[in-house]
């Protein structure tokens, strides 16, 4: 059996030099309602998914990684923040992807076509292979999360700290991410299902394409990216944030031998839930900014992208120049006010509600149950601001 040793790292937000980079799809927005929805859902699948891979805490591999990570204490490397989130996660709902996969598996139940799958092997209405898939999904996400914490050393200066610390941290990030991905691939092969292997492999390819596209086309530091429309933003966001969950949901149906329609609906639920939650996360700085709190948000966040599209390139560049300080740094409070003054925020809110409703629509075809109700509550929670 593979060792999902870092899967509890999966929803930590990393900050890197040059501004805030939000890597989490399912990080908590601070809403007690969201936390309750997750807590109630975890009870339905048999045990808290945040402890789904607790056995890995005793593994030799994790002990070795933790020993090397101690060398990063006192540095500014993002990998250390990820490691802290592994131990202290009160502000994050970890393993949400795995939770959704398990809930969908339970909501769909056994298939009539699954004659070779024994019902007595199910635990809380979920096949062991589906639980393994949930862990594999988290491992893959965590591997990419760790890899995306690599620091760009070309921008590092002596005033930022010792270069050797960053170089060591980058090596750890690369090797740790590769280790996680290798474990995920081993577990994937052990499922002995060719279609599932194809689905998850294509999801990994989507992640790579999505991250590459972001790095190539989104210049967050100056915001001078050519304007993209809503459809293009959705396509890019789906690759980097939604493909893994959508295809994992479909794969869970395949493992239980459900028909193509059930697989299509599961895929649809995962896709729209991912996009809805990404929009919700992007909207948080524009909905709950408080006086006196440090303000920062990504210039590739949905409200900013939609605002840029509405205002046009020239007006957007003018607003950026007005928001810059004497040190040529962005005054995010001025920029936030500019974005909130137009329809970028309301457009993102409307799109978030649309995706939440589409996710609710997809889940209605499954039999009424506690698991389906939990999935409905999760879809509804992403539309709460």
Task: Tell me which of 1.10.3720.10, 1.10.600.10, 3.40.1350.10, 3.40.50.720 is the CATH number of domain 33-112+121-288+295-383.
Answer: 1.10.600.10
Scan for tokens 């925020």, then name that residue. 345
CA angle 205, 25, 105 (to 5 degrees): 75
CA angle 272, 275, 277 (to 5 degrees): 105
Asked whether 78 and 17 are in contact (CB, 8 A), the reply is no
- Radius of gyration of the chain from Cα atoms? 21
What is residue 160's predicted lDDT score, i.e. its pLDDT? Answer: 66
Which has the closest alpha carbon to 272: 307, 237, 312, 303? 237
Could you tell me the residue ranges of all domains in the chain?
Answer: 33-112+121-288+295-383
Chain centroid offset of residue 287 CA: 20
What is residue 308's predicted lDDT score, i.e. its pLDDT? Answer: 87
Asked whether 172 and 69 are in contact (CB, 8 A), the reply is yes
Spatial distance between the Cα atoms of 93 and 42, rounded to a whole number of angstroms: 11
pLDDT tens-digit series, residues 197-249: 999 999 999 999 988 877 765 554 445 545 567 788 889 899 999 999 999 99
Spatial distance between the Cα atoms of 353 and 244, rounded to a whole number of angstroms: 21
Scan for tokens 């239980």, then name that residue. 256
What is residue 108's predicted lDDT score, i.e. its pLDDT? Answer: 92
Secondary-structure percent of the chain, ordered helix, strand, coil, rounded to 5: 65, 5, 30
For residue 27, the cross-strand partners are 92
What is residue 61's predicted lDDT score, i.e. its pLDDT? Answer: 55
Scan for tokens 């996680």, then name that residue. 180
Kindly give the parts of the chain with pLDDT less than 70.
1-32, 46-95, 114-120, 158-161, 216-228, 288-295, 325-328
Asked whether 219 and 71 are in contact (CB, 8 A), the reply is no
pLDDT tens-digit series, residues 130-158: 999 998 998 898 888 888 777 777 777 76
């Amino acid at each position: 059996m593979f060792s999902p040793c870092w899967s509890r790292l999966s929803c930590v937000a990393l900050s890197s030099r040059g501004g805030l980079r939000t890597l989490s799809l399912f990080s908590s927005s601070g809403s007690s309602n969201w936390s309750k929805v997750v807590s109630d859902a975890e009870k339905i699948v048999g045990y808290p998914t945040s402890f789904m891979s607790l056995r890995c805490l005793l593994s030799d591999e994790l002990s070795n990684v933790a020993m090397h990570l101690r060398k990063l204490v006192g540095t500014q490397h993002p990998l250390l923040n990820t490691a802290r989130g592994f131990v202290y996660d009160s502000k994050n709902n970890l393993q949400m992807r795995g939770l959704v996969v398990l809930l969908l598996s339970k909501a769909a139940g056994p298939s009539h076509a699954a004659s070779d799958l024994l019902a007595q092997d199910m635990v809380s209405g979920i096949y062991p292979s589906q639980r393994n898939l949930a862990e594999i999904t988290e491992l893959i996400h965590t591997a990419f999360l760790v890899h995306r914490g690599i620091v760009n050393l070309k921008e590092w200066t002596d005033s930022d700290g010792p270069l050797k610390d960053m170089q060591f941290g980058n090596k750890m990030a690369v090797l740790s991410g590769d280790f996680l991905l290798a474990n995920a691939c081993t577990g994937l092969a052990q499922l002995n299902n060719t279609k599932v292997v194809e689905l998850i492999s294509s999801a990994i390819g989507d992640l790579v394409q999505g991250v590459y596209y972001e790095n190539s086309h989104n210049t967050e530091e100056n915001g001078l990216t050519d304007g993209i429309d809503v459809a293009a933003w959705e396509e890019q966001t789906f690759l980097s944030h939604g493909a893994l969950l959508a295809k994992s949901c479909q794969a869970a149906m395949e493992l239980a031998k459900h028909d193509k329609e059930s697989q299509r609906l599961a895929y649809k639920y995962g896709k729209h839930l991912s996009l809805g939650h990404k929009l919700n996360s992007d909207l948080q700085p524009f909905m709950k900014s408080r006086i006196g709190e440090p303000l920062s948000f990504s210039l590739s966040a949905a409200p900013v992208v939609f605002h840029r599209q509405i205002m046009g390139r020239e007006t957007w560049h003018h607003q950026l120049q007005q928001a810059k300080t004497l040190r040529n740094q962005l005054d995010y409070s001025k920029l936030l006010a500019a974005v909130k003054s137009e329809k970028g925020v309301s457009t993102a809110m409307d799109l978030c509600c649309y995706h939440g409703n589409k996710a609710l629509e997809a889940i209605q075809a499954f039999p009424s149950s506690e698991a389906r109700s939990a999935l409905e509550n999760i879809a509804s929670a992403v539309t709460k601001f």
